[in-house]
Amino acid sequence: MKSYEVSVSSRSQSETIKGGKGQGVKNSGWSDTTVFSLRDPAVAANSQYGHFTGQIHFGEQETFAWGFRLHPGTAAAARGMMSESARLYMNGRATGYTDSHPSIAANYLVHSSTKVQANKSYKLVIDEQFPIARRGTRHIRTEFKFIVHPV
């Protein structure tokens, strides 16, 4: 049986911008350690702002698939379309993997996948921005850190 241990350390934060000035950053994070194996290949976590899922698909090369959806209460504040971008870093350097949607509903399930390597430190950064009342903008950043170790 091929098995991987994945250490997960993540956070999510929100910032409201009105009139070009930040109104302060609010953090909401989670921390968890899990083992991805053929019997248990997934992790799910909630922050104050949304629900994150991630899993490893086993094969000749492992694929990391992920999804993030804002909670209904968070998405309800949107007064227009949301833009999303995601980037993956390996050992602190950009991998070239990106995912972006320039105009989607705030309740959209953002999801994607990419190949990963064992024994490398990864950080997935998801940025979402949408207009809110009184000409403000809400920016939500979610960071999902993980490392895949052969067991």
> pLDDT for 8-55, tens place per residue?
445 555 555 556 665 555 555 544 444 456 666 778 888 888 998 988
pTM over 0.85: no
Task: Give the rounded percent of residues in the chain with a pLDDT score beyond 70.
Answer: 72
**Inter-residue contact 23 to 16 (CB < 8 Å):** yes
CA dihedral 97, 102, 104, 108 (to 10 degrees): 20
The whole-number pLDDT of residue 8 equals 42
**Whether pLDDT at 128 is above 80:** yes
The whole-number pLDDT of residue 80 equals 97
The whole-number pLDDT of residue 27 equals 52
The whole-number pLDDT of residue 7 equals 38
**Inter-residue contact 89 to 51 (CB < 8 Å):** no
Tell me how far apart the alpha carbons of residues 57 and 69 are, in angstroms, rounded to a whole number. Answer: 21
Q: How confident is the model at residue 131 (pLDDT cuts 50, 70, 90)?
A: very high
